[in-house]
Structure 1
Amino acid sequence: MSRTVVIGGGFAGLATAGLLAKDGHDVVLLEQQETLGGRSGRWSAQGFRFDTGPSWYLMPEVIDRWFRLMGSGADQELDLRQLTPGYRTFFERHLDSEPVDVVSGEAGELFEQLDPGSGKALQRYLESGAEVYELAKKYFLYTNFTKPLELMTPEVLKNLPRLGALLSDSMEGYIAKRFPDPRERQILGYPAVFLGAAPDSAPAMYHLMSHLDLTDGVQYPQGGFAALVDAMERLVREAGVEIVTGATVTGIDVSSSGQFPPRLGRRRGAVTGVRYRLEDGTQEREAASVVVGATDLHHLQTELLPQPFRAPESRWKRRDPGPSGVLVCLGVRGKLPELVHHNLLFTADWLDNFARIAEGKELADETSMYVCMTSATDPGSAPDGDENLFILVPSPAVPEWGRGGIHTAEMNQPGSLQVEKVADAAVAQLARWAGIEDLAERIEVRRTYGPADFVSNVNAWRGSLLGPGHTLTQSALFRPGVSDRGIKGLYYAGSSVRPGIGVPMCLISSEVVLDAVREAAPGEKSAANTAAGSDPDPAVGSPSRPATHIAHPGERTD
């Protein structure tokens, strides 16, 4: 096969490059940063170590599946720890009470304590989430929807009324009908943030997310998500992928081969190569017949493609970029028993909180946020006796808010006024809510990130923190596909396309791309018979059943 170029070294880029290499492609991966990981960044100073991106290890079977396709396994590559409690919650209306710890498998008892009688409602809610999750894995996640009639199975048809109702209702509405207690509604509604959406804009279909943390639990890989990136890199290199870091892609070359219908507004063509610039200014070009853009879709379609092939900017005005965020990394002297590994702070009026984010307004004085303290589980992430804190404050996707700054013993580089203002408020709020009165005085290391950092670091459209949000019109078959409809050999992977946001979704997208590349090459073996160019492994099956072969991810199993 001719050269295959993957643009972007995040989870989707690494995963896709590895699978294509195992399938026989000669693959080169180009990453503009010096380290791999994309949105899963890393930073360290004075003995404190931080993940600056994903931090919730959910859908472990999906991550393990990719490792098995590469001839290994998550248990062989990672040191995974189950978190107990899964997370701690602080509620603005109940700051005079103890925070609420959420333990996997014990949510029913917790809900009975919060609102007697709600345990049975939660059981029904989680059972429904589990059923929808299995349907999603079986029919809607591992597919590019190129053959929609294949979805018309007896199982899908039987569930159509139910699925239709879940799509027409919002998570907020669906939850509110079943749980009157605001604390319960927030515990069940916060996963919408993982989807880049608000509870009142995410379809109720995504109530399946609660099944993932309340039933399956939350794990953590020792060494953080950086350890996951490093493990993937090892396997990808072993598969023969050439990785070039410090390589900024400046253009995708496309040969013209005719005109699209006027309504599509773009020409038809085929990829011929990728141009990029090294850090020393050297200009390079890789000839290629297959190119996978595993980076921000807006950047790819509006900046890297030749002008006649670019998507009009007007098409993007109708899309929702999802929230951005202000990130705060803190190295804190002394222990913080008030916090656990994962912590969630919920404001009383969080719908106003989400509305401010969607409308691009200033955040309120008190805002909902997430705090991660990996040193509670991973002693290597902070000096002995100290703690590391990672604070995520969801914010509007407004790059004009600026970039963050760094404050260490060796450097004092302030960020923009707006980013530092939000960060200062977040530190003060955490101190008040968790009862850590001297938190600010104990900070030895501090680094902040703002929306403009996501633009410069990962080419994020409008500084989006996660990728386009999972609103109804940006979910499942309504989300952009992995194949460019008019440019032969051009594919997309990652959070901008199907199936969507999150580390597991990015890994699934790599399998969808693998299938799309194979379908475009007549005579190649189908992924339904073997995957990643290896012999069938009985330990790796379709997402919904044990396997006797490595099944096509979207294969019907009824």
Structure 2
Amino acid sequence: MARVVVVGGGYAGLASSVRLAKLGHDVTLLERSPTLGGALGRVEADGFAWDAGPTWTTLPAVVRDLFRKSGRPVERELDLVPLDVVREHRFADGTRVTVPATRAAQVAAFDELGPGLGRRWVDHVASYTDTWETLRREYLEVPWEAAAPSRPLAALLGSRETLHRRLRKVFRDERLALVAGHPAVAEGHDLRNVPAWAGVTAYVEQRFGAWTVEGGMARLADALADRLGTRGVTVRTGTTARDLVVREGRVVAVDLGGDQVDADVVVVAVDPRLLPTLARHVERTMPAIPPVVAHLGLEGEVPHLPHEVVLHGDPLLVVRTGGRAPDGASAWTVHGRGRLAEDMLRALARQGLDVRAGMVTRVDRSPRDLVDAWNGSPLGVLWQGRATVRQRLGPTTPVAGVFAAGAHATPGAGLPYVGLSAALVAQAVGPA
């Protein structure tokens, strides 16, 4: 039985802790904040509640595997609910497309934008079939060695083609390029710096659909926090890890600044740049900056929208409608990126969604607020070209006994990939 210390109580830390505890290890979880969950938490005010970060996910099998490998099946804890629509996109020319979660429905939806666009869209999505299979087999489901990837994976990750170039080559219609590039843009990336293979997100969304948790995604964190107790994990909130203690090249403890927690294994589920021992190994990376966020409590009649609507332009606005509200009210969250020279609600009104008269409460959070609250960016590492994938740590690190999980680690940001990062760490550490 190894003494395992997990640094960070967000989704990656929770998932790593319960997996490793189920494998028989003695696990201690350290979290700087007074509560667990990180970006997978909730914001509450005046009877309204909003998911603080993600409101839905793809790859539901990742969540199912996590619960199955740590104890009880997810169906006994949570209701995973499929969404019929991935998101709706509205363009500057007044047109719009609602993107369903199935191939046939996507053909019909894009054909409404213009004849033949449905076929062009699904052909683009299908072009990522081999990409997905290579990533799944060689990168997502097994720990990888950056210094010695398989030949197919090396060819894929080494490609110089950017997502910007591919989309401009494939789509003559700018609207389709905006739809395909949106997931990366929404996370703060410049498509000229994003590898073309990262566009596999469109394939994942079509093949596996979009899913949410009944009652809000924060319930996923609640269920995992409860499982910590079931698995006997020691939880220390309000505890900041200052650095790692390394002797003869191997980790032996986590430094708390005047105190330390002995460890045979440490899982770093926060931005590794926060720990000086690891910071030098990721000095070439930069964090992806979160958006400006406004959580809105609305009364009266509001427009009926899908769970997520993207308003393309500058600024780029994303409206999420799935918050909890008192009877007769609605809870929205608005994300903003780009030239936010005016209040986001005014910018939203210019796009035809004026809810200012019905607003009864509002919680604003700047990118700095989010980074401070979560001890780092929940969007992980900024894409700065094809080399970025090798600059992320995880599941192993250059320090013996230290592993990395979370948005800043392999395989990257987003709930599915953060969940996979915890699974990779569990594989790399192995059973007690």
Mapped to 2, the partners of 1:289 and 1:215 lie a distance apart of 40
Match of 1:203 among 164, 171, 195: 195
Q: 3-state SS of the aligned residue for 2:93?
A: helix
Match of 2:385 among 461, 472, 488: 472
1:374 matched to 2:322? The reply is yes
Match of 2:270 among 273, 280, 295: 295
1:100 matched to 2:66? The reply is no
- Change in Cα spacing, 1:474 to 1:147, as seen in structure 2 (3 Å) is closer
Tell me which residue corresponds to 2:371.
Answer: 455
Structure 1 residue 385, shift from structure 2 partner: 1.2
Mapped to 2, the partners of 1:299 and 1:394 lie a distance apart of 26
Code of the residue aligned with 1:454 in structure 2: it is L
Question: Larger Cα Rg: Structure 1 or Structure 2?
Answer: 1
1:90-489 maps to which residues of 2 (within 5 A)? 90-94=90-94, 97=95, 99-105=96-102, 106-146=105-145, 151-152=150-151, 156=152, 160=155, 163=156, 167-193=159-185, 196-255=188-247, 257=248, 269-276=249-256, 284-300=259-275, 302=276, 305=277, 311=280, 316=283, 318-347=284-313, 366-375=314-323, 381-394=324-337, 425-436=343-354, 439-460=355-376, 464-485=377-398, 487-489=399-401
Structure 1 residue 367, shift from structure 2 partner: 0.5
Code of the residue aligned with 1:466 in structure 2: it is L
List alignment gaps of at least 5 residues for structure 1.
258-268, 278-282, 348-365, 376-380, 397-420, 519-524, 526-532, 534-558
Q: 3-state SS of the aligned residue for 2:309?
A: strand
Mapped to 1, the partners of 2:219 and 2:301 lie a distance apart of 24
Mapped to 2, the partners of 1:185 and 1:87 lie a distance apart of 15
Are 1:88 and 1:343, in contact at CA under 8 Å, matched by a contact in 2?
A: yes
Mapped to 2, the partners of 1:474 and 1:164 lie a distance apart of 8
- Change in Cα spacing, 1:289 to 1:435, as seen in structure 2 (3 Å) is closer
Are 2:240 and 2:256, in contact at CA under 8 Å, matched by a contact in 1?
A: yes
Code of the residue aligned with 1:273 in structure 2: it is A
List alignment gaps of at least 5 residues for structure 2.
none
Are 1:145 and 1:477, in contact at CA under 8 Å, matched by a contact in 2?
A: no
1:6-17 maps to which residues of 2 (within 5 A)? 6-17=6-17
Structure 1 residue 299, shift from structure 2 partner: 0.7
- Change in Cα spacing, 1:194 to 1:337, as seen in structure 2 (3 Å) is closer
What is the aligned length? Answer: 430
Mapped to 2, the partners of 1:57 and 1:232 lie a distance apart of 16
Runs of at least 4 residues of structure 1 off by over 6 A?
A: none
| Percent of aligned positions that are identical | 30
Mapped to 1, the partners of 2:87 and 2:318 lie a distance apart of 10
- Change in Cα spacing, 1:147 to 1:88, as seen in structure 2 (3 Å) is closer
1:167-210 Cα distance to aligned partner (Å, 9 max, x none) = 32222221222221121111111021365522232111122111
Mapped to 1, the partners of 2:229 and 2:264 lie a distance apart of 21
Are 1:323 and 1:394, in contact at CA under 8 Å, matched by a contact in 2?
A: no
Q: Please, what TM-score do these two structures have when normalized by structure 2? A: 0.91
- Change in Cα spacing, 1:455 to 1:474, as seen in structure 2 (3 Å) is farther
Mapped to 1, the partners of 2:392 and 2:157 lie a distance apart of 17
Structure with more relative contact order (C-alpha pairs < 8 Å, separation 6 or more):
2
Are 2:289 and 2:367, in contact at CA under 8 Å, matched by a contact in 1?
A: no
1:32-43 maps to which residues of 2 (within 5 A)? 32-43=32-43
